[in-house]
Amino acid sequence: MSRYRSKLWGSIILCFSFLTFVPIHTHANPALPIVKDTGLITIEVFPQRHRLLVYMDHIPYKSFPVAVGNPSTPTPVGEYIVTYKGKNWGPSFGSRWIGLNVPWGVYGIHGTNKPFSIGQHASHGCIRMRNRDVEELYEIIPVGTKVTIFGHVLGEASQELRSISEGDVGAVVQLVQNRLQSAGYFNGPCDGRFRHSTTNALKKFQRQNGLIPSGVVTLTVYEKLGLLE
């Protein structure tokens, strides 16, 4: 599968492998004011390192250990916004819920009743934190905070790239929709939901590229769309 390494393109795909981080603040500084301007507080999540970083005015402020999605239900890569903050959603979500505007599902940053899972790929796609950590984060960030989740949309190099078809959801679907739209085959919303309109656009693309119009995104289709080399 080495020849199927994915291209890095656009702002959706963010490579984390070359980044290193040494937190400046290992503990919260009570003298540092809570910045209310949502543009001055940002969050970065590095799934492979199981770390969540908080920046204040572009300066690293706090680093937390997290659990992220497992290989079959990965944490969605990309840039999102905090749209909701709530308390006590239920035992599985711990003491706080911080919702993100992922278009194809309900994803967020939350606490857990399984603190032993922190530091692992153990969730269904959400970002888990220890309850005391998510409570601290909850007080720091306002609704509107930008959250960047690093990684590669098509998965890590060690993962087998799977075929997708109608009924699938996720960042890979959104990526395919964007490519089909850019090529003039798809005029629907690039929302990461593989519906009938995406199937029709894909079949048209397959016909015009000499492929069987199966409506399934295979390795050959990924290559034809320019997503693999």
The residues, ordered by sequence, that sit 6+ positions from 133 with a Cβ below 8 Å of its Cβ are 64, 65, 111
| Three-class secondary structure of residue 4 per DSSP | helix
What token pair was written down for 217? 């995104």
Nearest 5°: phi and psi at 221?
A: -65, -45
Closest CA to 76 of 98, 53, 97, 100: 100
DSSP bridge pairs for 33: none
The tokens for 210 are 């000499």
Catalytic residue (choose from 25, 27, 50, 110): 110
| 94, HSE (Cβ side, Cα atoms, 13 Å) | 26
Contact call for residues 99 and 108 (beta carbons, < 8 A)? yes
> Distance (Å, rounded) from C-alpha 203 to C-alpha 101?
29
From the list 126, 152, 190, 196, the catalytic residue is 126
Task: Give catalytic status of residue 58 as yes or no.
Answer: no
Backbone phi, psi, residue 87, to 5°: -115, 145
Active site residue 126: yes
Q: Which residues are catalytic?
A: 110, 126
